Structures are given as structure tokens and as C-alpha cells.
Amino acid sequence: MHKYIILFFSVLMLFAACSGNNAPEGTIAEEPMISLLTDVHLTDGSLYSVSQTPDSLYKYGSARYKALFKRHHTTDKQFKASLKYYTTQPVKMLEMYDRVSANIQAKIDSLNKKGRSNTAPGNKNAIPVK
């Protein structure tokens, strides 16, 4: 009898796992979500340059996030719902964050490369390094 109970719950868990992979209506697809998450984290990082008073963080932060969601043709409500769905899919979320991390690293490398070329000795527009 114990074997049948284990078998029943194993089949039930397998069925629940297979049926749970369907994204709810309105969920942002993976590729646009990766791009959106990259921009959200870059926006988060840009807020460190704002003075750390509560009013200024709200004022500048909310405007930046509204512009970000508008640029990605989504809303904060849709973003939160999509993020909630993807957090129930840990393997998929980990793969997405690997790509988000790679996107951010590529942007950092690009900025570093551009910074080195601006300070090159043969560059007429070079910024003097002291």
C-alpha cells in the first residue's frame, strides 16, 4: 500500500511540474524580459549617484522607471507579474540572469574600451590623464 501512495504522489508531482511551465496570459517573453531586467539593474545602479534622501530617490527613481517601462512597452504591473512567474521557474530564471549578467558585462567592457581609446596618446581629442 505504501508503494502505491508514493507512486500516486510521484505521478501527481510530475503532472504538476509539467503543467506549471505554461506562462500566464500577459507574461513578458524571455528575450524582452532579459532586456528589461538588464535595463532595470542598470537603472538601479544609476540611482547610486542620486543623493540618498528619501524624497529625491522617489522623485528621480520613479521617473526613471516610468521611462524605462515606457521604452519597453510594458507597465510596472506586467513586469511584476512576469517576474513573479519567472521566479517560480528557477532554472529558467538562472539562465535568464546569466544572460543579464553577460549583457551588463558587455556594456562595462564597451565603456572601458571607449575610455581607453579616448585617453590614447595619438588621439587629438584625448582627455589628458594626470
pTM: 0.70
Average pLDDT, the chain: 80
Region 3-29: what's the mean pLDDT?
Answer: 63
Rounded to an integer, the average pLDDT of 62-70 is: 92
* Cell representation of residue 12: 501527481
Residue 13 clears pLDDT 70, i.e. is over it: no
Give CA angle at 20 (85, 93), nearest 5°: 40
Q: Say which amino acid occupies 41.
A: H
Give the tens place of pLDDT for each residue, 69-79. 999 999 999 99
Q: What angle do CA 74, 78, 84 make, to 5 degrees?
A: 140
93, 88, 46: which is closest to 65 by C-alpha?
46
pLDDT tens digits for range 78-119: 999 999 999 999 999 999 999 999 999 999 999 898 877 766
CA–CA separation, 95 and 102 (whole Å): 11
Residues in CB range of 119: below 8 A, 6 or more apart: 126, 127, 129
